[in-house]
Amino acid sequence: MTNKLFVGGLSYSATDAQLEEHFSQVGKVISAKVIIDRYTGQGKGFGFVEMATVEEAKTAMDKLNGTQLGDRTIAVKEAKPQEDRNRSSQQRDDNRGNRW
């Protein structure tokens, strides 16, 4: 487990400050970032929060998963490093076989 969390289900208008405020209810927030679409300038509906400790991250997952942030119900999960996500994608591609 890490102290970094993935937050899904955010409103497209959610801000870093709103995310930080929501998570500060359960511990010290090191950083909170809503991912923004570079072309539209709107949020993509997800973000990342880094808590001060692994214990606070676990508490955040337990207490904030399924809660309301603005008008949306959010999902809070452990953030996966990018290389892990890529490996999973590659494994899916390998299972599909060569279709050409």
Over residues 38-82, the pLDDT tens digits come to 999 999 999 999 999 999 999 999 999 999 999 999 999 999 987
E strand map for the chain: 4-8, 29-36, 43-51, 68-69, 72-73, 75-78
Cα angle 36, 41, 42; round to 5: 65
Q: How far apart are CA 35 and CA 9, in angstroms?
A: 12
| Cα–chain center distance at 76 | 6
Q: Whole-model pTM?
A: 0.82
Q: What structural domains and CATH numbers belong to the chain?
A: 4-95 (3.30.70.330)
Closest by CA to 27, choosing from 5, 43, 1, 9, is 5
